[in-house]
């Protein structure tokens, strides 16, 4: 089996395995304690696990349809250049593997979280989705779904545009990030102002880092010294953002004497996408694939 197909199969099986193991543990605990709180915790844990691995599943799925022009205007799979895109073999993989992944996981997981939050956030069982709604305004209780879809769309856009020019990939990601930043500024979904500033700052830093991707375009023939310098600047920006974020959270703990209600979004924002000339991030890769010369 080809490595790219094996990775996609593993990504498809992973949610099932984790969910079964998770419920196996909590059901065992329930048999001992006979407490419904244990079942509620198992439900929460399952949603959190699915939410956490969703970006990995999206990326594994996109690798099945991300193609590039390499030889005589022929499309080859980016992750496996020995496989021609949209020929019989690749078409079977796309229909039999990617399509179910797209429906069940890529769209299914955010929609499942959306339904649970929408139905439970105002009822007596709202504690089941508190992990996703804590720290948000009442009108922005579904914002975690927005963030989940934002990550997925970024990965999908960059993957589907892999056969085009790198410039198109960068510009498309810039437009999407700018729209997300504008929406965030207008919506201000967090209850605490510092969280709105932190997330806005995170999106702004991602826009700056993505702008540096232009220097890595092969067609520019940028000097290696300049690229090395830019790489160090990127590293400093990322480290600076992480330190600022951690410092703000620690300051809130000291000032208020307790751990603030920090949603999942803030934790995920600490992972700022760095644009190296490759497409191999484990979370949210904003790095377009560098142009390859036609052979």
Q: What is the pLDDT of residue 161?
A: 64
Report residue 123's pLDDT band, with 50, 70 and 90 as the boundaries: low
Q: Is the pLDDT of residue 291 over 50?
A: no
Strand, helix or coil at 213? helix
For the chain, the first-to-last Cα distance in angstroms comes to 27
Does residue 200 contact residue 184 with C-beta atoms inside 8 Å? yes
pLDDT digits (tens, 9 = 90+) for 195-240: 788 888 888 888 888 888 777 776 677 777 888 888 888 888 888 8
What whole-number percentage of the chain has pLDDT above 90?
Answer: 7
Does residue 137 contact residue 184 with C-beta atoms inside 8 Å? no
Q: Is the dihedral of CA 252, 256, 260, 261 positive or negative?
A: negative
Q: What is the pLDDT of residue 259?
A: 52
Give the mean model confidence (pLDDT) for residues 91-112.
90
Q: What is the pLDDT of residue 275?
A: 37
Q: Is the pLDDT of residue 254 over 90?
A: no
Regarding pTM above 0.75, the answer is no
Q: What CA dihedral angle connects 122, 260, 142 and 175, to 10 degrees?
A: 170
Q: Between residues 189 and 69, which one has the greater pLDDT?
A: 189
Give the mean model confidence (pLDDT) for residues 5-21.
89
DSSP secondary structure letter of residue 77 = E
Does residue 234 contact residue 212 with C-beta atoms inside 8 Å? yes
Q: Is the pLDDT of residue 21 over 80?
A: yes
Distance CA 143, CA 219 (A): 39
Instruction: Give the containing element (helix H, strand E) for 82.
Output: strand 80-84
pLDDT digits (tens, 9 = 90+) for 27-50: 998 888 888 888 888 888 888 889
Q: What are phi and psi of 290, to 5 degrees?
A: -65, 145
Mean pLDDT score of the chain, rounded to an integer? 77
Report residue 141's pLDDT band, with 50, 70 and 90 as the boundaries: confident
The region of weakest confidence among 15-19, 44-48, 163-167, 201-205 is 163-167
Does residue 261 contact residue 286 with C-beta atoms inside 8 Å? no
Give the mean model confidence (pLDDT) for residues 72-80.
80
Distance CA 86, CA 63 (A): 13
């Amino acid at each position: 089996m080809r490595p790219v197909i094996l990775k996609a199969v593993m990504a498809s099986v992973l949610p099932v395995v984790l969910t079964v193991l998770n419920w196996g543990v909590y059901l065992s605990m329930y048999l001992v304690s006979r407490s419904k709180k244990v079942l509620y915790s198992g439900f929460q844990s399952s949603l959190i696990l699915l939410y956490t691995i969703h970006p990995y599943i999206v990326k594994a799925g996109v690798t099945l349809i991300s193609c590039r022009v390499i030889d005589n205007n022929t499309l080859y799979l980016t992750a496996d250049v020995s496989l021609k895109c949209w020929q019989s073999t690749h078409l079977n993989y796309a229909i039999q593997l990617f399509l179910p992944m797209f429906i069940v996981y890529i769209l299914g997981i955010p929609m499942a979280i959306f339904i649970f939050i929408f139905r439970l956030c105002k009822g007596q069982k709202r504690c089941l989705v508190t992990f996703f709604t804590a720290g948000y305004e009442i009108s922005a209780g579904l914002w975690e779904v927005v963030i989940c879809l934002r990550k997925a769309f970024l990965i999908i856009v960059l993957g589907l545009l892999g056969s085009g020019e790198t410039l198109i990939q960068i510009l498309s990601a810039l437009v999407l990030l700018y729209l997300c930043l504008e929406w965030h500024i207008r919506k201000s979904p967090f209850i605490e102002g510092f969280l709105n500033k932190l997330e806005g700052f995170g999106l702004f830093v991602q826009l700056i880092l993505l702008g540096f991707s232009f220097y890595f375009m092969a067609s520019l023939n940028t000097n290696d010294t300049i690229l090395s310098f830019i790489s160090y600047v990127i590293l400093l920006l990322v480290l600076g953002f992480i330190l600022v974020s951690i410092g703000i959270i620690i300051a809130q703990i000291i000032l208020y004497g307790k751990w603030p209600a920090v949603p999942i979004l803030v934790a995920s924002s600490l992972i700022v996408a760095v644009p190296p000339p490759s497409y191999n991030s484990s979370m949210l890769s904003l790095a377009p694939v560098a142009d390859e010369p036609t052979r």
